[in-house]
Chain A
Amino acid sequence: MHIVVCIKQVPDSAQIRVHPVTNTIMRQGVPTIINPYDIFALEEALRLRDTYGGEVTVLTMGPPMAEDALRKTLGYGADRAVLLTDRYFAGSDTLATSFALSQAIAKVGETFGTPDIVFTGKQTIDGDTAQVGPGIAKRLDLMQLTYVAKIPSVDLAAREIKVERRCEGGTQMLKSRLPCLITMLEGTNEIRRGSLEDALYAARSQVLKWSAADAGIDDLTRCGLRGSPTVVKRVFAPTARAEKAALIDTPERNLRDLADELIAAILTRGPALEQELAFNGGE
């Protein structure tokens, strides 16, 4: 079985600061991480490989420094890593990203064997659209299985796969066909510790670096900014609320009085709440 996992290197957004005057993002020195959601996709792919045999190829589109993220996945046990990097990809939105990635996946297929499954994470923490996966599925005509929580079985001979898919209010049990694209739900597995062997493998392996041309992309008008139907017109900081919270005075007061005072303040601001709470509160 050949599995391709798409991962993205993202800024650790917990550490992103916005310049107070210019309102731009201060990226300098912000550490990058593998998009946390993609780790679940990677682990699931590794598990399937361990069970059914085969290879895992990890793919990312990004700047040259995204090589670090790929090398890390080799350390977890991925068999090969491909970095799709070219200045033509700058400014890609989801449509252009899924175009470039699907072209690269096709090339990976030609070179190393057609993938049976392509994994993506549920979403990225910087783009956060959850649309790149479905975009790839549509372009490569793969069965689209999103929000997958579990993969009970894969039948390679019959080209069949069963998955449990989370949806509003429950879980769907689905049977579908290979090849398929799976977006893996978070919290569904735990990434392994790479073995020493994997660490050595990661250290001595080459990350394959492909330009647009290497990936067989001829139509550059479909890449990057030019290939992106959406345009970011304005970036701005959220407006702060003018007034701060009214604080209840606390010194030297017993908890019971404080609690009563807070409730009184709540009900003064929201008189209708009394009904709400009383009604709900009935045992």
Chain B
Amino acid sequence: MSSANREAPRPASGRAGTKKELPDHFKDYRHVWVFIELERGQVHPVSFELLGEGRKLADKLGVELAGIVLGPPGETTQSAVTEAFAYGADLVYNVEAPLLADYRNEPFTKAMTDLVDAHKPEILLLGATTLGRDLAGSVATTLKTGLTADCTELDVDTDGSLAATRPTFGGSLLCTIYTLNYRPQMATVRPRVMPMPRRMDKPVGRVIRHQLSVAEDDIVTKVLGFLPDSQSGKANLAYADVVVAGGLGLGAAENLQLVKDLARAIGAEHGCSRPLVQKGWLSADRQIGQTGKTIRPKLYIAAGISGAIQHRVGVEGADLIVAINTDPKAPIFDFAHLGIVTDAIRFLPALTEAFTRRLSPHSRDKLAS
């Protein structure tokens, strides 16, 4: 990791904060790259969401969109390459090596920074997942460039720079951030913040292969094992089509059962606002919002949740938001589509019952046919 001490050239003069003066050696940085996050044989869907965004940026800039696929030799890596094209990439940079099988910071940072140095992208996007955040920080520091984390909107300015918008101060404000005098301009985006683009069957296009320049012996950190989350308890909230969540308005931990009952009846995932996690009523992976999961379901039902801004930013992508709250002035009614001002503790069982009545004949039909 001697690259840590590498000195990136600094802009000739002036305050980076006030003036645009992209140094000459950055002027040949072109094209938009998306890191395709492949872990244990699976491409994280956030990579496809980013390809969708990357496509728009590349088209506006009139440049190419590349997918970056790092993985072990074999079928899973090659199918990630295929998928990158199917979701809009014009070309793919591919590094295959056995030591890229499990994510580790050292080899992935090396592979990524080598690629950037060799091919000079102007924009590099990564998912704000545990992997993406681990990688983005060290890649940006190695390259000594700017990184805007957890963006909610990406655009290119009239002069071609990346305008990255993200929430700040606990979500109460948004800010637009530029990386003026450095390249690449890096940004991360959380899963589900951007819509999933349509998959098209496209032939595999140009693939540029690279060798990994480190060997296992050079890598200090070793993976001793991996313990998958138990399937039963695992919440896949972010990608659920229907989500039911409860907040402090439920009053007591036992009442969470009412939320779980409704979720089960309609085949939804259940979640909660942050205070419930803090009270230990539910585990942290069930928290929805700015410091929890961003969700984008077709239907979101919130019971006893006030709709604080930090909660709101995590659910705004839902197609239909339904709020159950005793307080007609609760902020959640400002962004919900449908609301009912009533006691959730009494209403939830009735709703579960009504859904069950309505849905069960269909379910039976389906089973019978």
Contacts and interface: CB of A to CB of B under 8 A. Distances in A.
A173 B229 CA distance: 13
A130 interface: yes
B352 to A, nearest CB: 8
Given A262-B322, A262-B351, A279-B267, A173 B227 contact: yes
Contacts of A259: 347, 350-351, 353-355
A269 B222 CA distance: 52
B228 A170 contact: yes
B172 A167 contact: no
Give the most central of B4, B170, B177: most A CB within 10 Å.
B170
B338 A147 contact: no
B116 interface: no
B361 to A, nearest CB: 9
Contacts of B25: none
Contacts of B150: 128-129
A92 to B, nearest CB: 11
B140 A131 contact: yes
Give the most central of A18, A131, A140, A225: most B CB within 10 Å.
A131
Give the most central of B39, B229, B339, B354: most A CB within 10 Å.
B354
Contact of A126 (B170, B323, B339, B358): B170
Given A13-B170, A281-B265, A247 B328 contact: yes
Contacts of B309: 238
Interface in B316-369: 319-323, 328, 332-342, 346-347, 350-351, 353-356, 358-360, 362-363, 366-367
A237 B226 contact: no
Interface string B127-142: 0011101101110111
A231 B338 contact: no
Nearest to B134: A146
Q: How large is the interface on B (under 10, 10 to 19, 20 to 34, 35 or more residues)?
A: 35 or more
Contacts of B172: 13, 16-18, 25, 237
A246 interface: yes
Contact of A168 (B131, B142, B149, B163): B131
Contacts of A248: 338-340
A247 B167 CA distance: 29
B241 interface: yes
Contact of B333 (A139, A247, A258): A247
21 contacts: A16-B169, A128-B167, A130-B137, A131-B133, A143-B220, A172-B225, A173-B226, A230-B178, A231-B180, A232-B177, A236-B176, A245-B333, A245-B339, A250-B341, A259-B354, A259-B355, A263-B355, A269-B337, A277-B242, A280-B242, A283-B363
